[in-house]
Copies of this chain bind each other. A is one copy, B any other.
Amino acid sequence: MIVIDYSDKRPIYEQIIERFRNLILSGVLEDNEKLPSVRALAIELSINPNTIQRAYSELEREGFICSVKGKGNFVNLNKSLMEVEQSRMLQELKTHLKKCKDFGIDVSQIEDCVKETFEEVTR
């Protein structure tokens, strides 16, 4: 479920955070579903439990999961969170597009990209 890319320059805990965020927002992990325990995941990924702990804490702070002492960590999906996240992504996309424009990339190339990505849905 989770893969660590050691060639990635970002810290491990951040990779884990992003991965879970995606799994939750894309619906792979359902609401209230239990996440692997701190220790179990640490062993599975052969990394230190502290690193997992840190990732989970951050995810809880962001409202993606809910951690209950003695019980575990649970997915905490709520609509408003998804909306916030989506608008954040669109904002990022705009910045990116602006940069593409500045670099002289043509609209048609962008549109091809979009088509290509979203046609995969119909497959």
Seen from chain A, the residues whose Cβ lies within 8 Å of a Cβ on chain B are 6-7, 11, 22, 25-27, 66, 68-69, 82, 85-86, 89-90, 92-94, 96-105, 107, 109-111, 113-114, 116-118, 120-121
8 Å CB contact of A26 from B27, B90, B97, B103: B103
Q: Are A116 and B94 in contact (CB under 8 A)?
A: yes
Query: Chain A at the B interface: mostly helix, strand, loop or mixed?
Result: helix
CB of B94 within 8 A of CB of A96, answer no
What are 5 residue pairs bridging A and B, where the CB atoms are less than 8 Å apart in the complex?
Answer: A25-B102, A26-B102, A90-B110, A93-B110, A101-B117
Report the minimum CB–CB distance from A7 to chain B (whole Å): 6
Please give the distance in Å from A121's CB to the nearest CB on chain B. Answer: 7
